[in-house]
A and B are shown apart, each in its own frame.
Chain A
């Protein structure tokens, strides 16, 4: 298996390379540059020209790309002009924030969606099933920011149950339990909103899978053994129905990364999604390119993770 993992990592390299080239060229095609935003009557156009020159924006794009790549290989992903920081520093903390947010969201998502999907599939066509399906569509139809804002207003401000912005309390001492708790507490509401919004896909797929699984011959075999219904579900139907969900786990995670853009903006949560929008608006090429590549890398990692999980869960698939 390790051979496969290593091989997959090697395959990633050309993929990421192509991706970086693509995004770099596209980013350069965007009108404006990081310094456009600095224009005020008080800024000196000559100075801005000088800075553009210094930043190499007048070089041909392939020179810029080669320079950028060369540095990237040494771990230097360039400078963010809109944040005035090395990109690596800038993304570092935010990537971690988004990672925690996604992780908690995924956990909550599955905690919520799996039971619902299983119930809907098991009690297919009952009132319970219909309500769950109905719920899943309502959730899907509600725009992210509407649900986000309403829950923020209600649970955050009106009821005061959750913090309303930021990732950690300013007074929490780093390294203490209180700090970790504060981080978690700040994550909770956005992660819950995130999880609720993501349930639809999982519920739908799981429900369909369970309904399909129920008619499988091996389920009939199991029932013919005289196994109680509950056990038939837990041992035979459920596990088999989870396969496609497991297959999409990596995909789900990367989808969450993309969806983080909305949630992070609403909850004032500093993460990569929010950063990306800012970088686009600020034409912060190095940040855009690095972020896209990071997301690409994470996606690849996610799909590898999916495959590994699948090979563990499904004996028919062995990667070696």
Chain B
């Protein structure tokens, strides 16, 4: 036995040495981005900003500047961090997989540029002119541009996406209420018309689209407007039903972007080369190779210089890359917020209307809801579990939407005393001495929380929140006794399962911040089932024609945020950051939303990634 123990110990030692060796390389040099960064360091202080000015500080640089001399050409090695293969549908009208979108970004077919609020501008391939009264939009191609196969970009290419999405054989989610806003779309979809009557080719470079209504959302690519082009010279001959499987989508898609597709190994890697026909000029890189990398090894891959950049890098691996000397971390806030929702009614699927019943709901007391918000120690969770890559959210609009976000909102901050105070004042007292509060009628109060299952961290975080509530005397239990797997969660929440009193969800907002899809009276996704006339009014105002005036819209957005904060049917919890580790041989990378950055500017300063 002794010999065996020794052998075992030896094995352990060897193993730990190996691990130690892995760590030594990264022995703490405080990273200040030796490559220099746009944001001055130090502004993102960690203390004393609770709730005051959240979500506006930049924690990470978004731009990587590199003083080194660039080499001629070179190939950028990109890791696409994903535990499953990408779908490989390289078409903006057909794709559903976010990873496909990451790849397509290098070879984009997008025709409009956007500004910091993700609103369309006229600086891209095409410009947009909206006529609110006539309810039309006119899209004009700004010059003589070519597809990567040399074919000129023409009006038909702008129209092509509409013909695909509206087609009866189209099987994706994009044929939606927005799309039906285009005049003639429904007839075309139902096969009653051969074409969409509201879309009209004015000349070779101009397309005019007529809508049933026009709202400011059109500038976010809403209302049915489509923001990318499809190569009609190739796609028009392929039946829509066969499009998904066609080579034009999966094998050799044609693009308008800085790069074009060269080779594709389905699901695992893509090689892109410089697009000679790119309208802005020639990319300095020869090409880009993108490979799928499992999340568990993403950090290691960056550390060992296997890749130059990592797309969709998991923030949970932050600790493994934050001190790397060969890698600079770029970061930006995601279009995302997580929230705590209170069930305040039901959805009537027959009338397609939310039926709010505040009085009859267990969570009907706004004071109770507020107290629950103050009781959560989200700050600590963000700091400890998410390394500061998440932060307490103050509103239901991510700060990225600079013009719409309301930074003055206080939101909730961790304040158990305040929570206790509120509960005491509202009559929630512990009458039977079990350490838990009863409701004002003296009845036992047990609140059932539905939360999505996730990784280990998620489980611990939820546990911690339950603890937080218990500390202020609230008995919150997990509905079903455990975290709920994603599909089941949405099944139950959407079906207004009586077992659920409160739930923790999250939304990725996309670039259109209009909240009506999530909070309007008709919205199925209005999971808290809260609706009021005032809320409806605000939501309608945000998307009204008057709101084509940016300032009016911004004002209504703020009013809406304040209203939501006051009602507290939904309490914002966290905003989060996303990261992009970039190898130090990369030059001129910009990860910001609001930039002039273009892939053609990216250069490399060495033949191989720095190790």
A interface with B by C-beta (< 8 Å):
30-33, 35-48, 51, 54, 83-86, 89, 93, 130-131, 134, 138, 145, 149-150, 152-154, 156-158, 160, 164-168, 170-171, 265-268, 270, 274, 278, 281, 283
B41 to chain A, nearest CB (A): 30
B123 to chain A, nearest CB (A): 24
A128 to chain B, nearest CB (A): 13
Q: Is the CB of A44 within 8 A of B178?
A: yes
* Cα distance, A165 to B178, chains bound together (Å): 40
A318 to chain B, nearest CB (A): 46
- Given A45-B524, A84-B89, A149-B296, check contact A39 B490 (CB 8 Å): yes
* Closest residue of A by beta carbon distance from B508: A40
Q: Is the CB of B517 within 8 A of A41?
A: yes
Chain A residues near B297 (CB-CB < 8 A): 149, 152-153, 156-157, 164-165, 266, 268
Chain B residues near A36 (CB-CB < 8 A): 486-487, 490-491
Q: Is the CB of B293 within 8 A of A164?
A: yes
- When each residue 269-300 of chain B gets 1 if its CB lies under 8 Å from chain A and 0 otherwise, what string results? 11100000000000000000101111011001
Q: Of A45, A85, A266, which one neighbours B525 at CB under 8 angstroms?
A: A45
Q: Is the CB of A89 within 8 A of B245?
A: yes
Chain B residues near A51 (CB-CB < 8 A): 171, 173
B454 to chain A, nearest CB (A): 12
* Cα distance, A171 to B270, chains bound together (Å): 10
Q: Is the CB of B176 within 8 A of A43?
A: yes
B607 to chain A, nearest CB (A): 16
Chain B residues near A38 (CB-CB < 8 A): 96, 173
16 contacts between A and B (CB under 8 A): A32-B487, A32-B491, A44-B178, A47-B173, A84-B96, A156-B297, A157-B303, A157-B304, A158-B304, A166-B291, A170-B263, A170-B289, A171-B271, A266-B296, A274-B83, A283-B487
B488 at the interface (CB under 8 A from A): yes
Q: Of B18, B175, B267, B271, which one neighbours A270 at CB under 8 angstroms?
A: B267
B117 to chain A, nearest CB (A): 16
B550 at the interface (CB under 8 A from A): no
B207 to chain A, nearest CB (A): 23
Chain A residues near B384 (CB-CB < 8 A): none
Chain B residues near A283 (CB-CB < 8 A): 487
Chain B residues near A138 (CB-CB < 8 A): 11
* Cα distance, A164 to B174, chains bound together (Å): 36
B244 at the interface (CB under 8 A from A): yes
* Cα distance, A38 to B174, chains bound together (Å): 11
Instruction: Report B131-179 residues with CB < 8 Å from chain A CB.
Output: 171, 173-178
- When each residue 82-112 of chain B gets 1 if its CB lies under 8 Å from chain A and 0 otherwise, what string results? 0111010100001010000000000000000
Chain A residues near B304 (CB-CB < 8 A): 157-158, 160
- Given A85-B245, A149-B297, A165-B292, check contact A42 B87 (CB 8 Å): no
A88 to chain B, nearest CB (A): 11
* Cα distance, A45 to B524, chains bound together (Å): 7
* Cα distance, A83 to B84, chains bound together (Å): 11
B-side interface residues, number (CB < 8 Å): 60
B509 at the interface (CB under 8 A from A): yes
Q: Is the CB of A165 within 8 A of B294?
A: yes
Q: Of A31, A47, A85, which one neighbours B175 at CB under 8 angstroms?
A: A47
* Cα distance, A130 to B94, chains bound together (Å): 60
- Given A51-B173, A170-B289, A270-B267, check contact A40 B7 (CB 8 Å): no
B22 at the interface (CB under 8 A from A): yes
B561 to chain A, nearest CB (A): 16
* Cα distance, A35 to B487, chains bound together (Å): 9
B518 at the interface (CB under 8 A from A): yes
- Given A31-B488, A42-B517, check contact A166 B265 (CB 8 Å): yes
- Given A89-B245, A157-B301, check contact A46 B177 (CB 8 Å): yes
Instruction: Report B27-74 residues with CB < 8 Å from chain A CB.
Output: none
B424 at the interface (CB under 8 A from A): no
* Cα distance, A266 to B298, chains bound together (Å): 11
B503 to chain A, nearest CB (A): 14
Q: Is the CB of A32 within 8 A of B291?
A: no
Instruction: Report B544-564 residues with CB < 8 Å from chain A CB.
Output: none
* Closest residue of B by beta carbon distance from A267: B294
A185 to chain B, nearest CB (A): 14
- When each residue 248-277 of chain B gets 1 if its CB lies under 8 Å from chain A and 0 otherwise, what string results? 000000000000000101111111000000
Q: Of B4, B270, B487, B507, which one neighbours A37 at CB under 8 angstroms?
A: B487
Q: Is the CB of A164 within 8 A of B173?
A: no
B399 to chain A, nearest CB (A): 17
* Cα distance, A31 to B491, chains bound together (Å): 7
Chain B residues near A130 (CB-CB < 8 A): 4
Chain A residues near B265 (CB-CB < 8 A): 166-168, 170
B355 at the interface (CB under 8 A from A): no
B510 at the interface (CB under 8 A from A): yes
Chain A residues near B7 (CB-CB < 8 A): 131, 134
Chain A residues near B525 (CB-CB < 8 A): 39, 41, 45
Chain B residues near A160 (CB-CB < 8 A): 304
* Cα distance, A130 to B306, chains bound together (Å): 41
Q: Of B177, B269, B294, which one neighbours A44 at CB under 8 angstroms?
A: B177
Known: A45-B524, A145-B296, A170-B270. 10 other contacts (CB 8 A): A31-B487, A44-B176, A47-B176, A134-B4, A153-B300, A154-B18, A157-B306, A165-B297, A266-B294, A268-B292
Q: Is the CB of A41 within 8 A of B518?
A: yes
* Closest residue of B by beta carbon distance from A146: B15
Q: Is the CB of A41 within 8 A of B85?
A: no
Highest count of chain A CB atoms <10 Å: which of B175, B176, B271: B176
Highest count of chain B CB atoms <10 Å: which of A31, A39, A167: A31
